[in-house]
Amino acid sequence: MFQYDAAGRILGSNEPNGKFGPRLFLGRTKDGHVARFGASVPDNVITRLEEIIAREPLGSDLSPEPVGMDAIREVLTEHAPVSREAGGPAYWFPETIVVPDGVVQLTDANSDLTRETFRWLYDDLPSWAPGFAIVEDGVAVSVCYSSRIGPRAAEAGVDTLSDFRGRRYAGAVTAAWAAAIRGSGRIPLYSTAWDNLASQAVARRLGCKLYGIDMSWG
């Protein structure tokens, strides 16, 4: 998910634009937790955060907030004001991925499909590949692309124009993307925010299974 320095500290996101790098990322699963720290966080602050995270209980109940949420916020705030906080469920795809008809893979040859509706994707399509789209009236109205790219896994990014939501287009393009990532020998992953109920519904319709919770603080 992130770009790291030689010491394993977060420098920025692993998105093509590489912008946001949190001070703390916490991944929670029933079997254990994964914590990553920003390059700007002092060692003494990291030590205190690690102590809090070590006390976080394990179990199948992955509630939206960790038990030590208040303590985490307090330590981070002592270092610097918390400018951003995000979190949500993370999913893996089932072994069998059914790709609906009507999905178009985006390539250099047909990138004009995104010029009017997803200009940022048109401007740098190779960085977000593979990309897939539903096309209506000659333009892409729903797209799925690689928002985080790694040698072993990739994560889906999905966007649908507001006038075309509710038609299950997001699920169709996401299924095509996931099948392509798996075909490349990598693991397709999907995550979203707690308040994005539509995105969570897409994961359920695709048969995705919850494997953990992502949280980050800036």
Domains parsed from the chain with CATH numbers: 2-90 (no CATH), 103-210 (3.40.630.30)
DSSP secondary structure code for residue 105 in this structure: E
pLDDT score of 20 = 77
Geometric angle at alpha carbon 20, from 160 and 111, rounded to 5°: 40
pLDDT (mean) for 184-193: 97
Residue 90 has pLDDT above 80, yes or no: yes
Cα dist. 7→2, 27, 35, 78 in Å? 13, 19, 14, 23
pLDDT band at 19 (very low <50, low <70, confident <90, very high): confident
Listed residue (92, 124, 100, 63) closest to 175, CA to CA: 100
Distance (Å, rounded) from C-alpha 130 to C-alpha 188?
12
The model's pTM: 0.90
**Which of the two residues, 114 and 21, has the higher pLDDT score?**
114
pLDDT band at 1 (very low <50, low <70, confident <90, very high): confident
pLDDT score of 13 = 87
Chain position carrying tokens 């047909």: 110
pLDDT band at 61 (very low <50, low <70, confident <90, very high): confident
For residue 53, the SS3 value is helix
10 Å CB burial of residue 184 (0-12, 13-18, 19+) is: exposed
Distance (Å, rounded) from C-alpha 46 to C-alpha 153?
27
Tell me the β-bridge partners of 16.
none
Distance (Å, rounded) from C-alpha 209 to C-alpha 78?
37
pLDDT score of 18 = 67
Distance (Å, rounded) from C-alpha 100 to C-alpha 138?
19
Average pLDDT, the chain: 94
pLDDT (mean) for 110-139: 97
With beta carbons less than 8 A apart as the criterion, state whether 103 and 133 touch: yes
Residue 39 has pLDDT above 70, yes or no: yes
